[in-house]
C-alpha cells in the first residue's frame, strides 16, 4: 500500500504574504504618524483667528475723540478719573431739616440761581447717592440759601438756621467728627449763600464749599473748594456754533453798572463804533429777545464781574457761541483745573479794560475761529439737564468733588 504524504509547503512560499501584510501595516503607521506630525506642526505655524473677527458681532461703544480734546489740561487723566468716578463715587445726603428751609422737596429750577436747584434735584435722583453712610465718600449738607431767601428768610436768620442745623448734625451723627467736616460739602449759588454760613466758621474752614462766587480774596481755597458755574436756565434760544461768518460785531456787553469794572467799561467804551457797549440792560420794549440775539452776531462777549466775581453772562456767552472775555480779578473760573480756559475764552485783568478794543482786534481771524470751535466743544459742560447726562454741569461738579474727596483731613 502506498501512503501518499500531503504536500509540504516551502517556508519561502508561506512567509511571503505574512511579510507583505506586516509591511503594509508598517507603511500605514508611518504615513499616519507623518500626517499627524505635519498637521501638528502646521497648527503651530498658523495664527489663531483674530479677536476682532470674534468680537465683530459685539457692540462696544467708543468714546469720541472730541470728548478728550486739547481743551483739557490733561485729557488722559480726565478720561480715566472720570470713568473711575462714575463707577465708585458715593454721596450721603443728611435727611434732617425742615423742607421749607432745606432742599428736601422737588422745585422748579429756573433763574440766575438755577445751578443750586439743579444740583439738589440731580444728586437726589442720581446713582451717586447712597443711603448707607458707611460707604459714602462725601457727605452732603443740604442747606439751600436760595430756598430760604425765596421764603423771605433774612440774612441774620439764615446764619442762625445754618449754625443750629450743623450743630445738630455734629451732635446726632458720628461722621463729622471723624474728619472735623473735611469730607462734607455744601452747595450754594445765591449771592447771599456764603454769608449764610458765616455763623458756622467750621463750615467755611473745613468743608468743601461749592459756590458760584469763588473769589480768591474772600477766603475761597481752590484746592479745597469748587467753583459752581452760574447758569441762567432755561436758555431762551438754541445753542450757537459753527456760525462764525454771522459774527460781525467785535464785542458786546449790556448790563447794570453794579461794580467798579462795569462803570469803567461803560464810561470808556459806550460810544465806540466797533464795540457794542450799553450802560444798562436792553429794554424788552425794543423787541423780542433782542439781548440774546446780540450774542449770535458777536465775536467776543465782554463778561465783567458784577456784585460778585461771577456772572451768568459767561455761561450765556458759551451757550450762544460768543467767545467770553473774562474781565474779573480773583475769579477761580469753573472747572479751571480741568479745562484750559485760554483755549476757548479771552482771560484778562480788570486793568486791561482800557486796552480792550485793541486786545480784541489783535486776535486774528484764525485764532478767533479756533477759540469759537473749542467753545462749542465745552458747551456741554455748562448745561444742566434733568435727568443729568454724561459730561454736563452736574457730572463736572461731581468730578470736581471726586478729585477732592481725599483732601487732607483737618
The domains found in the chain, sorted by start residue, are: 75-232+387-405 (no CATH), 244-382 (3.40.50.2000)
Residue 256: pLDDT band (50, 70, 90) is confident
The percent of residues in the chain predicted with pLDDT above 70, rounded, is 78
pLDDT of residue 68 exceeding 70, the answer is no
pTM, 2 dp: 0.80
Report the run of H or E that residue 25 belongs to, with start and end: helix 11-45
152 pLDDT higher than 70:
yes
* Distance from C-alpha of 43 to C-alpha of 17, rounded to nearest angstrom: 39
Beta bridge partners of 325: 302, 346
Question: What is the pLDDT, as a whole number, of residue 392?
Answer: 97
Residue 375: pLDDT band with limits 50, 70, 90: very high
257 by Cβ neighbours in 10 Å (0-12 / 13-18 / 19+) ranks as middle
Q: Which of 59-68, 216-225, 299-308 comes out lowest in average pLDDT?
A: 59-68
Residue 69: what pLDDT?
77
Please state the rounded mean pLDDT for residues 200-221: 85
**Predicted pLDDT at 329:** 92
Least confident segment among 66-70, 147-151, 169-173, 344-348: 66-70
* Most confident among 22-26, 70-74, 141-145, 191-195 (mean pLDDT): 70-74
Residues 102-124 have a mean pLDDT of 76
Q: What pLDDT, on a 0 to 100 scale, did the predictor assign at position 101?
A: 56
Between 294 and 62, the more confident residue is: 294
Q: What's the mean pLDDT in 196-211? A: 88
The pLDDT of residue 380 is 96
Nearest to 213 by CA among 182, 188, 184: 188
Contacts of 177 (CB under 8 A, 6+ apart): 170
Question: What pLDDT sits at residue 229?
Answer: 95
Q: Who's near 180: CB < 8 A, 6+ residues apart?
A: 202, 206, 409, 410
Looking at the DSSP bridge assignments, the partners of residue 291 are none
Q: How confident is the model at residue 384 (pLDDT cuts 50, 70, 90)?
A: very high
C-alpha cell at 118: 439743579
CA distance 321 to 334: 18
- 3 state SS of 188: strand
Residue 171's alpha-carbon distances to 31, 175, 234, in angstroms, are: 88, 10, 40
pLDDT band for 111, please (50, 70, 90 cuts): confident
Report pLDDT for 63.
Answer: 44
Q: In the prediction, which pLDDT does 176 show?
A: 93
Question: 100-109, 118-127, 307-316, 364-373: which has the minimum mean pLDDT?
Answer: 100-109
State the pLDDT confidence band at 372, using cuts at 50, 70 and 90.
very high
Nearest alpha carbon to residue 308 among 225, 186, 195 = 195
pLDDT band per the 50, 70, 90 thresholds, residue 222 = confident
**CA-angle at 128, arms to 171 and 106, nearest 5°:** 75
Q: What value does the mean pLDDT take over residues 380-406? A: 94
Rama region for 404: left / alpha / beta (φ>0; ψ in -120 to 50; rest): alpha
* Mean pLDDT computed over 27-53: 42
pLDDT for 267 = 94
- For the chain, the average pLDDT equals 81
**Position 279 pLDDT exceeds 80:** no
370 vs 17, higher pLDDT: 370
Alpha helices (H) in 89-184, listed in sequence order: 114-125, 145-150, 155-172, 175-179
More confident residue, 214 or 98: 214
Contact, 150 vs 187, CB < 8 A? no
108 falls in which pLDDT band (50, 70, 90)?
low
d(CA 97, CA 136): 20
- Asked whether residue 391 carries a pLDDT value surpassing 90, the answer given is yes
Of the given ranges (184-193, 242-251, 353-362, 384-393), which has the lowest mean pLDDT?
184-193
Amino acid at each position: 500500500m502506498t501512503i501518499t504524504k500531503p504536500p509540504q509547503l516551502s517556508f519561502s512560499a508561506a512567509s511571503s504574504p505574512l511579510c507583505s501584510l506586516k509591511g503594509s501595516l508598517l507603511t500605514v503607521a508611518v504615513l499616519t504618524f507623518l500626517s499627524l506630525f505635519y498637521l501638528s506642526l502646521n497648527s503651530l505655524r498658523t495664527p489663531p483667528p483674530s479677536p476682532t473677527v470674534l468680537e465683530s458681532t459685539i457692540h462696544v461703544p467708543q468714546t469720541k475723540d472730541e470728548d478728550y480734546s486739547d481743551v483739557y489740561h490733561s485729557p488722559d487723566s480726565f478720561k480715566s478719573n472720570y470713568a473711575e468716578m462714575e463707577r465708585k463715587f458715593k454721596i450721603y445726603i443728611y435727611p434732617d431739616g425742615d423742607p421749607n428751609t432745606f432742599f428736601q422737596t422737588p422745585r422748579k429750577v429756573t433763574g440766575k440761581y438755577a445751578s443750586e436747584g439743579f444740583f439738589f434735584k440731580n444728586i437726589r435722583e442720581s446713582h451717586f447717592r447712597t443711603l448707607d453712610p458707611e460707604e459714602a465718600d462725601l457727605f452732603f449738607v443740604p442747606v439751600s440759601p436760595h430756598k430760604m431767601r425765596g421764603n423771605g428768610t433774612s440774612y441774620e436768620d439764615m446764619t442762625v438756621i445754618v449754625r443750629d442745623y450743623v450743630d445738630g448734625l455734629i451732635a446726632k451723627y458720628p461722621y463729622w467728627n471723624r474728619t472735623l467736616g473735611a469730607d462734607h460739602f455744601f452747595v450754594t449759588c445765591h449771592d447771599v449763600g456764603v454769608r449764610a454760613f458765616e455763623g458756622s466758621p467750621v463750615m467755611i474752614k473745613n468743608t468743601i464749599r461749592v459756590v458760584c462766587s469763588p473769589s480768591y480774596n474772600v477766603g475761597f481755597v481752590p484746592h479745597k473748594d469748587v467753583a459752581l458755574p452760574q447758569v441762567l436756565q432755561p436758555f431762551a434760544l438754541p445753542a450757537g456754533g459753527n456760525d462764525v461768518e454771522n459774527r460781525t460785531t467785535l464785542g458786546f456787553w449790556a448790563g447794570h453798572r453794579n461794580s467798579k469794572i462795569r462803570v469803567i467799561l461803560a464810561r470808556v467804551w459806550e460810544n465806540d463804533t466797533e464795540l457794542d457797549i450799553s450802560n444798562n440792560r436792553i429794554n424788552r420794549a425794543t423787541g423780542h429777545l433782542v439781548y440774546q440775539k446780540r450774542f449770535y452776531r458777536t465775536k467776543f462777549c465782554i463778561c465783567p464781574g458784577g456784585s460778585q466775581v461771577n456772572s451768568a453772562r459767561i455761561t450765556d456767552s458759551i451757550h450762544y457761541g460768543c467767545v467770553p472775555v473774562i474781565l474779573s480779578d480773583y475769579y477761580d473760573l469753573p472747572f479751571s483745573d480741568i479745562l484750559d480756559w485760554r483755549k476757548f475764552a479771552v482771560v484778562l485783568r480788570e486793568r486791561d479794560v482800557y486796552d480792550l478794543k485793541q486786545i480784541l482786534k489783535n486776535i486774528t481771524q484764525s485764532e478767533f475761529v479756533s477759540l469759537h470751535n473749542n467753545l462749542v466743544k465745552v458747551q456741554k459742560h455748562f448745561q444742566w439737564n434733568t435727568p443729568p447726562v454724561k459730561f454736563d454741569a452736574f457730572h463736572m461738579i461731581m468730578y470736581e468733588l471726586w478729585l477732592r474727596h481725599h483732601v487732607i483731613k483737618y
